[in-house]
Amino acid sequence: INAKGYITDGKNENARRIIPISDLASAILRNTIKRNEDYNLHTDWIFCSPDGSQGNQSTMRNHWLALKKDRDLPGTVYSLRHTFISMMKNVMPEQMIKDICGHSISFDSFGTYGHILSGEQEQAAEIISLTFRESAPKLHPENE
């Protein structure tokens, strides 16, 4: 549902997708439903408008701005795509990430959205060192 309240099909055929819900995400959704009930909003919508009716893009933006202020978070809702892909790029197959994000096979998800995370370079250096220690122990001075 866009900001004007219209139900859309999305920008392309990849826009409609099934997104897996982890245990952590399920807990967050349950907490959100409980919060709605605490505000006396008995609704079928998780991210609802202030009166409990179906939300839209503006509703989601307002929820994000409140959460951002409450938790002192940076960025925009859209920047969360960058964060997600950056965090998943080394632990999840690329095609799985593309399916979740609605990217085509030819789209460069990592090039567009992947960024180096804090500590990632150090982790890469350690992996390289471990690999060479195991594969070529004679190359290391500590083994002489």
Over residues 17-46, the pLDDT tens digits come to 777 788 888 898 899 899 889 989 889 888
Predicted confidence band of residue 16 (pLDDT cuts 50, 70, 90): low
Tokens 């960058």 -> residue: 82
Tokens 């701005």 -> residue: 65
pLDDT for 60: 84
Side-chain half-sphere of 89: how many Cα atoms within 13 Å?
17
Q: 104-113 burial, b if ≥16 CB within 10 A, otherwise e?
A: eeeeebbeeb
Alpha helices (H) in 9-105, listed in sequence order: 23-38, 57-71, 79-88, 94-101
Over residues 55-102, the pLDDT tens digits come to 888 888 888 898 899 889 888 888 888 888 888 888 888 888 888 887
